[in-house]
Structure 1
Amino acid sequence: MAVLLLCLAAPGLSACTTAPSPPSPRTTVPEPTVAARALTPAERQTLAKAEALLTRNCMRERGFSFHVVEDLPTGVDRLFPYVIDDETWAAEHGYGSDIQRKRDTLAAKNPNQLYFRSLSAKRKDAAVDALNGPEPTGLEARVPGMGTIRHSDQGCESEAQRSLYSDLRKWYSAWKVTDALERSVPPAVARDERFTAAVSRWSACMRTKGHSYSSPLEARQRFIRQAGKSRADEIATATAEAQCAGASGLAKTARALARAERARTESDHSTEFINRKTLESGALNRARDIVKTG
């Protein structure tokens, strides 16, 4: 949300900067505490809502409005990053064009965007500084493949995270690194020759059902954004995709490759993953109290 507001305010202005990453020094991997564990999606939603509430309070203190909004419904790309393999879901949503329309509608009505657009240019700049901080200094993370990302430690976003996680610098580094690494898993899986071989089998299966697509990505792109496509065709194609995901072994192959890639990634960058699990687990009770208070 902070990034969205920033981009709306000044496309040429960035809240963070990047630089080539120097060689990482050898560090001692911290021992995980008993509480350190990967949180469930519901628990992470609790953390996110608590952070939004703290950000709202901070922005109000600085003279600005900020609304706590519900997350947008999860789209097909997050639910099924490789291939739709749930026939029941496909029969109801197809490729998720109905979900995408709902996401677009909710985004257009986002009260934070509407409020921000109503501000004068001077107030917009002040709101950006209040939310993100005046300069991208104080926090940094060495993200593999992206160099060093920097951000202010003075804005309301940082204040909220400091209140939740206590050690803001450690949290920022762990958050940015692990988030980037988690996002790198699907592309790594897609490059694996075992995945591409399974996609070829999937494509052959689809042709036997009357659907000519070289990959699941090609199929979903046709129905998600292109206007004028039949809803019945969308559901029929997505259902066939789910059936072929099982018959071709694509779904099973993708899951196995994704598990292996995540395990490798966490092993190679264990410090940041352990730090994130530790800080999130430690913040959970605080977050619950914040959400309860509202």
Structure 2
Amino acid sequence: MSAQLRLYKAHFRASRKADGNSDATCRIRRSGRTAFLAALLAAALACMTACESAGSQTAQARQESPRLLTVEEREVLAQAEKILTRDCMKREGFSFWVTPEIPEPLERLFPYVIDDKEWAAANGYGRGIRERREALARSDPNRRYFDRLSADRKAAAITALNGPTSEGLEADVPGMGRIRHSDKGCVSYAQRELYTDLRAWYRAKKVTDALDRTARVAVVGDPKLLPATRQWAACMHERGLPYDMPQKTRERFALRPEAGEFATAQAEAACARSTGLAATLRELSRAHRQRMDSRHPTEVKNRALLEYKALSRARDIVRRG
């Protein structure tokens, strides 16, 4: 009960006590006050109903508003797309296997500097991840299947998968110009089933993927990064590691196993955090990405919205598939 309603009730009881000398007058006043109180209660109930309805609508809108998906949720989308592609290829008379997701490479996990000491202790500079990626690529059943097909059959399978010509879908991609893809074929079918608006999805994905790449280039070339990089280098030198920038450590340990890889990776992560290099990179990355996103608001919004709405469909597809 609202404070205003309690106040009116208290006032009504006090008025009844003061007017108790005249029964006739009391009955008249009681009738008027009763009508007034009934109207007040009706108004209060209407307000409560309206407030509850508005609150429910606000909560529903908040629940439906798009957000960036987690790594695990993106893997669900990828698996659902493969399942839909498999079913489409089967209808076209070809085989297709739903394969595990290839793990992200070091360049995607830590595009600038390793700043997770525990990850560095377990993975070094990602040599194990590279080996797993290469092993999965070599054992890919789809690759082996396509390689065994005759020339005519392989051409037909590629057409079934990717469509006959690069027509139907297009996007103006920053740094690349206009690119096109077929709106037919099983890949396009799967994406249409998952994201519903295939043309909007194609443009959104191609543009935002390009923004990721251009933002990383802008961060590396930002003069504001130099002071933090110098501090990181000084920290590494104090540990007996002669590296002036994180790219040098990757060049050293990228191709072959070498003594000191894991110790160097842990030192890199510790220095990245203690000198503020990791924090500076996060700030610059956010600033450059926001600047670039502001130039392509439609594609950025569409990707978040279409992915978020597709997630429940993807879960159902994976559960059934």
Q: TM-score range by the shorter chain?
A: 0.7 to 0.9
Q: Is the 8 A contact 1:139 1:150 kept in 2?
A: yes
Partner SS, residue 151 of structure 1: strand
Check if 1:268 corresponds to 2:295. Answer: yes
Report the CA distance between 1:36 and its aligned residue. Answer: 2.5
Equivalences for 1:146-165 in 2 at 5 Å?
Answer: 146-165=176-195
> Given the alignment, which residue of 163, 166, 172 partners 1:136?
166
Partner SS, residue 140 of structure 1: strand
Q: Structure 1 residues 33, 265: CA separation in 2 closer, same or farther (over 3 Å shift)?
A: farther
Question: What TM-score, normalized by structure 1, do the two folds share?
Answer: 0.84
**Structure 1 residues without counterparts, runs of 5 or longer:** 1-31
Distance in 1 between the 2:121 and 2:63 partners? Answer: 44
Percent sequence identity over aligned pairs: 54
Check if 1:255 corresponds to 2:282. Answer: yes
- Look up the match of 2:138: 108
Distance in 1 between the 2:121 and 2:151 partners? Answer: 47
**Structure 2 residues without counterparts, runs of 5 or longer:** 1-61
How many pairs does the alignment contain?
A: 260
Displacement over 4 Å in runs of 4+: none
Q: Structure 1 residues 228, 173: CA separation in 2 closer, same or farther (over 3 Å shift)?
A: closer
Distance in 2 between the 1:253 and 1:36 partners? Answer: 28
Distance in 1 between the 2:191 and 2:163 partners? Answer: 13
| Matched letter for residue 239 of structure 1 | Q
- Look up the match of 1:10: none
- Give per-residue Cα distances to partners, 1:150-179, cap 9 Å, x unaligned: 000111100111111121111111111111
Distance in 1 between the 2:251 and 2:156 partners? Answer: 39
Give me the CA root mean square deviation.
1.7
- Look up the match of 1:181: 211
Q: Is the 8 A contact 2:80 2:317 kept in 1?
A: yes
Q: Structure 1 residues 172, 33: CA separation in 2 closer, same or farther (over 3 Å shift)?
A: farther
Question: What TM-score, normalized by structure 2, do the two folds share?
Answer: 0.77
Distance in 2 between the 1:259 and 1:81 partners? Answer: 14
Q: Is the 8 A contact 2:127 2:257 kept in 1?
A: no
Q: Which moved more, 1:179-188 or 1:47-56?
A: 179-188
- Give per-residue Cα distances to partners, 1:12-42, cap 9 Å, x unaligned: xxxxxxxxxxxxxxxxxxxx99433222222
Equivalences for 1:44-123 in 2 at 5 Å?
Answer: 44-123=74-153
Report the CA distance between 1:149 and its aligned residue. Answer: 0.6
Q: Is the 8 A contact 2:246 2:268 kept in 1?
A: yes
Report the CA distance between 1:124 and its aligned residue. Answer: 1.7
Higher RCO (Cα < 8 Å, 6 or more apart): 1
